Amino acid sequence: MRTRTISMLVGGATAFALLAGSPALAAPPAHAPGLAAKDTLAAVAPDGLRIGGAAAGGGHHGAADYPDPFTSDEPYRDLLAAEFTSLTPENQMKWDHLRPSRDEFAFDDADAIVDFAEENGQIVRGHTLFWHSQNPAWLEDGDYSDAELREILHEHISTVVGRYAGRVAHWEVANEIFDDAGNLRTEENIWIRELGPEIIADAFRWAHEADPEAVLFFNDYNVEGLNPKADAYYALIQDLLADGVPVDGMGLQSHLGTMYGYDPTLPENLARFGALGLETAITELDVRMEIADGAEPTPEQVADQNEFFEFVLTSCLEESSCGSFTLWGASDLYSWVPNTFEGQGSATPWTEDLERKSAYCVLQTTLLSAQPGGEARAAHHPAYAGCRAA
């Protein structure tokens, strides 16, 4: 049951910079009393670690019974501004959102996120340029020659990355190019199918040409642990680096579920990509569970979810190459999970009413503990007892 009343945005974006280490903190917005300046994930994150969130909009939200979250829901926007130092457009930079036709680019929604991030001292992770999913019909069903397709991709990457050069710090250039067995998606991915695997390197080269400063990532799910799919990335990236292709990072989406367990080899996996000289990132973390719509999780599910969030965050905190930690959803109301996985939900650290769950407290106190002298401070944090067993 979706109960929260959504307040519409009446004014402009709330400027509320909370970058760790930023010299001046703006006062918290009056209408979000829960977000006191020192009491957010962003505020307690150690230097060098970006805390990210998906900016909800497009995709499955288009069919939902609420207005577009990012542009309409003011308390949600305040939460994004206060909790995060990095934002990922959930759908607004995907091909089907940006490209109504071969001749058009529709940048309004993406621009709004980049502007908002700048006003709030946040970086943006661009998502994504090369994928088998959420492509427009004019592309997937078009009848193009190889030369035309190559030109379509080149133009798209140059135009999109070029538009945001200097403003989108990280690009998740290629998304989900391998299947779980570690085979390239040679049928599903239009670019690989039609143009061959060499096009992957071109996508990175074109992105680098359009913004030489942008940090360029691969990104995928089910690559958290040491497994065949992660091995496939590890091998491909070594080949690409040997050829001088500008690959800078490996993103682990981390869509987890309490009923599946987590792979304890995540630290080793992050470390091996880091040892290649790459930046690593947790890019889309959520922890779903089997739960009826509107039901409360059992105490066991809560404990499991807390443990999963803590494990992934700790793995990132302890790996020096891991520069950002992004949550895929900052409210169960907007989470993609119930829409995509029937009978599953409660996957984010915030309820549908934007109340913090104990998973939030676990993340916050884990971040605090990672600060110099932070363990004692975390133990004295007012919320600590609420999320940790004695």
Please report how close the Cβ of residue 368 comes to ligand XIL at its closest, in angstroms: 29
Residues 259, 265, 267, 272, Cα dihedral to 10°: -140
Give me Rg for the CA atoms of the chain. 20
**Residue 356 DSSP one-character state:** B
Exactly one of 83, 90, 172, 176 is catalytic; name it.
176
Question: Do 171 and 125 form a contact (C-beta atoms < 8 A)?
Answer: yes
Q: Which of 51, 77, 29, 22 is nearest to 368 (CA)?
A: 51
Is 284 annotated in the active site?
yes
Smaller CB separation from ligand XIL, 252 or 302: 252
Half-sphere exposure of 333 (CA within 13 A, CB side): 25
Coil, helix or strand for 226? coil
Please report how close the Cβ of residue 2 comes to ligand XIL at its closest, in angstroms: 16
Is 176 annotated in the active site?
yes
Exactly one of 74, 284, 319, 352 is catalytic; name it.
284
Smaller CB separation from ligand XIL, 272 or 288: 288
Smaller CB separation from ligand XIL, 91 or 365: 91
Please report how close the Cβ of residue 325 comes to ligand XIL at its closest, in angstroms: 16
Please report how close the Cβ of residue 103 comes to ligand XIL at its closest, in angstroms: 25
Q: Interface residues with ligand XIL (CB under 6 A)?
A: 59-60, 90-91, 175, 221, 253, 284, 336
Please report how close the Cβ of residue 91 comes to ligand XIL at its closest, in angstroms: 5
Please report how close the Cβ of residue 320 comes to ligand XIL at its closest, in angstroms: 25
Smaller CB separation from ligand XIL, 252 or 361: 252
Smaller CB separation from ligand XIL, 157 or 370: 157
Please report how close the Cβ of residue 220 comes to ligand XIL at its closest, in angstroms: 8
Residue nearest to ligand XIL (CB): 59
**Residue 54 DSSP one-character state:** E
Smaller CB separation from ligand XIL, 59 or 126: 59
Smaller CB separation from ligand XIL, 60 or 185: 60
Please list the active-site residues. 176, 284
